[in-house]
Amino acid sequence: METEEAVLALAALSQSTRLEAFRTLVRHEPDGLAAGDLARLLEVPANTLSAHLSILTRARLVTSERHSRSIVYRANLAEFRDVAVFLLRDCCGGRPEVCEPVVDSLQACCSPKRKVRSRVRSHV
């Protein structure tokens, strides 16, 4: 990942509605959410959310796919991983123990027991 790509992704996440939209989509992986369901969950008007999702899409942090009359959005976890790796790439300076607490925290938050099930049905 190049610096400009990281800047674009981090800028997209620097606004509270976009950050919450991205975090919500991460919680609903791998199924994603229909745009209307995401707007209801976030309590944001659909047209406002659409603008935010466009910014996240341009930053490659979310993807979209049309299903019948709905557009389902998903977090692009590969791109998010690339941003995280970009931020941590030079972290340890050849000393892995320096970054170990960060890596341990990431592993702990992603353990199977913390999996969140979707309560919102997408219109697929």
What is the residue range of 62's domain?
Answer: 3-114
- How far, in Å, are 30, 94, 95, 96, 98 from residue 90 at the CA level? 30, 8, 10, 10, 11
Q: In what order do the strands lie in the sheet with 62-67?
A: 33-34, 70-75, 62-67
What is the count of structural domains for the chain? 1
Q: Is residue 122 part of a domain?
A: no
Q: Is residue 56 part of a domain?
A: yes
Q: Is residue 12 part of a domain?
A: yes
Question: Among 123, 83, 75, which residue's Cα sits nearest to residue 106?
Answer: 83
Q: What DSSP state is assigned to residue 121?
A: P
Q: Is residue 71 part of a domain?
A: yes
Q: Is residue 124 part of a domain?
A: no
**CATH number, domain with residue 14:** 1.10.10.10
Q: Is residue 123 part of a domain?
A: no
Give tens-digit pLDDT for 47-91: 999 999 999 999 999 999 999 999 999 999 999 999 988 888 777
pLDDT at 105: 79
Give tens-digit pLDDT for 82-115: 998 888 877 777 777 877 887 777 777 766 654 4
State the pTM of this model: 0.79
Question: Among 69, 68, 76, 82, which residue's Cα sits nearest to residue 32?
Answer: 76
Tell me how far apart the alpha carbons of residues 64 and 21 are, in angstroms, rounded to a whole number.
13
Q: Is residue 119 part of a domain?
A: no
| CA torsion through residues 24, 77, 3, 57, sign | negative
Q: Is residue 120 part of a domain?
A: no
